[in-house]
Structure 1
Amino acid sequence: MILPITAYGMPVLRKVCRDISPDYPDLEKLIEDMWETLYYSNGVGLAAPQVNRDIRLFLVDSTQVFDNNEDDDEVQHYPDKPGIKKVFINAKILNYEGREWAYNEGCLSIPKVREDINRPETIVIEYYDEAFNKHTETFNGLTARVIQHEYDHIEGKLFIDYLKPLRKKMLQRKLNDISKGKVSVDYRMMFPK
């Protein structure tokens, strides 16, 4: 089932999310619905707060970045090609490594806003998969960036939080419009009341 995406201004997007256990109600169905929602909305990552759940769960499918940008030489030369498709539960980033680099990011919860955001090139992350097997892995390139973006969601942060105050002020009208439902997208959204 395709779930509505929470829009900028929804309180759940600013919550530090809680860990879950393997007996979280209907977890398998939630993950299935989140994958369906991710693909329907043409995203590359989706975090539980974006479907109005305050839990430490997010999905990443960075393979789509490479598949959808086959003509972009820069994208095709990132070290993490062909990308990953994974579920991350109760994730904790253990280490950020490498130089910071800029990339133009967007977010399904903040539609029609894209900004260059600096993030470290490599991360080490500990997480559980959907079967609650524990992993500690290192990711780099675009995959590390997508993971960091989704990880921020479960920490109550948004990519616009990295912008300089003046740039954020310049976007305030767009952000206010989004929170009031004055935005047109091809997917279902849930707006603050």
Structure 2
Amino acid sequence: MVTEKMRLGDIAEILAGITGFVEKGRYRYKVVQPNSFTDTGTMCSVEIQNRNDIITPKQLLVSGDILLKRLNPTFVYVVSSESAGMVPSQNLLVVRPGKSVNPFYLGYLLEQKEILGHVEHVTGSAAAIKAVSIKKLAGITVPIIPLSEQCRVGELWELSRKRKQLLNDYIAENDRLVSTLASRIINGGGNGR
């Protein structure tokens, strides 16, 4: 398999999140914040915010965009069709892959410590808070494999995230069950009194 190293800026467009939201404005938008998505690829909470001027269509999220936190990034979110049309906050960077790159493959790469380590190295890893800039993110190199193989890696990554979410749900349900049973024993003596 042929692997080619390419600069991220050559295979994807990198956009800054949007600023300029006000308390009362003519236009309302659903705004994605750094805490709006989880490490398992779930969108949990989105804020409605206002602006006095309209946001251009290019600045709205499209399916396949990858959201990366500007401060201390550890995981990414690949925008689904349900999240398309939302607006990224100023605390996010948007990586918009070109046609030759699978978004889930690129998402997988951007979560790898050795890839993020390049950004941290460039920004100064001694800093307590690591900020990522568009320029520095665009300058990192990533391995590019044939598109068919990218799709396979991307699907594997998606499945691993779903598995992680299922395991999290299982642990939460198990904790709830143990708590309920313990409460019944403590409050009822364990024999239905």
Give TM-score, length-normalised by structure 2. 0.30
* Larger helix percent: 2
Larger Rg: 2
